[in-house]
Amino acid sequence: MRHLKEIEKLAKENHEKVVAWRRNFHRHPELSFEEFDTSDYIAAALSDMGYQVRRNIGGTGIIADLQGAGQGAAIAFRADMDALPILEETGLPFESEKAGLMHGCGHDGHMAVLLGTALLLSQMKSELNGTIRFIFQPGEEANGGAKCVINDGGLKHPDIEGIFGLHMMPDLPCGTIGIKPGHLSATDDEFLIRVHGKSAHSSEPEMGVNAVVVASHVVTALDSILSSNVGPFQVATFSICQIQGGEAINVIPDTVEMKGMIRCVEKGDKMKIRARMQELVEHTARAFGGQGEVEFIPGFPSVNNDGMLTKLVIDAAEQVLEKKEDVYQIERPHLGSEDFAYYQEEIPGVMFMLGCAQEGQETGTLHSPILNINEDALLYGVEIFAAVAMSMCGK
C-alpha cells in the first residue's frame, strides 16, 4: 500500500493525543444513553479537526463525514461510547472519577481509536475519494444503541456500503488482532420462567402444590436442552442463573421465577431451543400439578463478518502489523454478544478483535473492575482503520 508509510508517520505523531483522549474518556464514564458529556467532548474534538458534526443520533450519538476529493465508495467506522456500572479497582492515575461507573469493556479505547482515525484521515483528505463516516454510538451495553442509530438514518445520506468496527481484547497480545469471516460472536436471549403452584402451610403439604419442587423438576428437564436439540458441532450455551421463590420457611410457595441466558451462533438453533424450552416448562410443570410459562427477551443477533471485507481487513492488518502471524485467524466464535451485528443486518460489515494485553502485568478481563488496556494498542487500531479506509477510498 503506497500510503502506508504516511499512515504510520501520522499515527505516531498523533498517538500522544489519542492516549489523552482515551484517558479523558476513562476518567468520565457515562452509562448507556446518558453519554451527554462524552458526546460534547467528541463533538468538540471533531469540530477542531474541521468536521461538520451531526448530534443526537440514536440518542446521544454523533456522526461526522469526511468527503474525499472525488467520487468513490461510502464506508463507515463505528465506536461505542457507554460505560458500565462497575466500581473501578485499577488504581490508575486517570481512574474513573464517578464512583460505581467504569469503562470496563474498552469503549474508551474504541472512541479514542475512532477519533484518532478521523484526525489522521483528515490530514490525508487529498488522497481520498468518496465518503468516510465516523459513527459514535450510544447504548451498546443497553441492547439497542445500534438499532437507534440505524433508525435515525445513520447508514443513509449517502447510503453506506460497508461498516467496520473493532473490540479491545485483553486475551490477545498487543500488536495483534483476531478475526474470522462469518460468525464472530453469539446471538443471545434472556429468559424468564415462571412456575405456578398453590400455596399451603408446611403442616398441610397435601393442600398445595409446591412451586419449588415443580421448579426443581423443570430445571432437571431443561438440562437436556443442548444435548438433545443442538448438534454436537454447533456452538451454544444454556444457563439458568437465578432462582427466586418463597418468603417463609413454613409456607409452601405458589410461585418461583427463574432467569438465565441462551447463547447461540446460529439463529435457527436459538429458535429450536426456545420452542423446546416452552414445551418442557409447560409439560413438566403440568405433570407435577402446576403451571409453567416462559418469556423471552431478545438480545443481539450474531456478528457475521462479510467474507470480502474480512479479507480486505486482513490484508490491511498484515501490512500494518509486524508479522503476518500477528493476524490471528479465530477458529470458533466467542459467545459474547455485540450490537454491531445490527449494522451487519443492513449492510456488509466486519468487526475484529484488537489485542490490548499488558506485557508483564495483569490486564484484567472485559467487564472486570481491573481492566487496564495497553495504550500501545490504540496506535495499531488507528493504523488498521486508516489502512482499511485507504484500501477502499484511497486514490
- Render the burial of 348-360: b for 16+ CB within 10 Å, e for the rest: bbbbbbbbbbbee
Q: 388 near 316, Cβ under 8 Å?
A: yes
For the chain, percent of residues with pLDDT exceeding 90: 90
End-to-end distance of the chain based on CA atoms, in angstroms? 11
The three three-digit cell numbers of residue 247, written as one number? 418468603
- pLDDT interval class at 231 (50, 70, 90): confident
Confidence grade of residue 229 (pLDDT, cut at 50, 70, 90): confident
Supply the mean pLDDT for the chain.
Answer: 96
List Cβ neighbours of 95 (8 Å cut-off, separation of 6 or more). Answer: 26, 27, 88
Report percent pLDDT > 70 for the chain.
100
pLDDT at position 335: 83
pLDDT at residue 333 is higher than 90: no
pLDDT at 129 over 90: yes
pLDDT average, residue stretch 110-131: 98
The confidence band for 217, taking pLDDT boundaries of 50, 70 and 90, is very high
Q: Report H helices in the chain.
A: 4-27, 36-48, 107-123, 145-151, 211-222, 225-229, 267-287, 307-320, 340-346, 376-393
Give the span between the Cα atoms of 226 and 350, in whole angstroms. 29
Position 8 scores a pLDDT of 97
24 — phi, psi (to 5°)? -65, -45
Report whether pLDDT(267) > 90. Answer: no
Retrieve residue 174's grid coordinates: 498487543
Mean pLDDT of 205-220: 96
Amino acid 3 reads H
My answer on whether omega of the bond before 158 falls inside 30° of 0, hence cis, is yes
How many CA atoms lie less than 13 Å away from 214 in the CB half-sphere? Answer: 34
In whole angstroms, give the CA distance from residue 219 to residue 122. 57
* Lowest-pLDDT choice from 71-80, 225-234, 265-274, 370-379: 225-234
Q: How far is CA 166 from the centre of its chain?
A: 9
Q: What is the pLDDT, as a whole number, of residue 258?
A: 98
> What's the confidence (pLDDT) of residue 279?
97
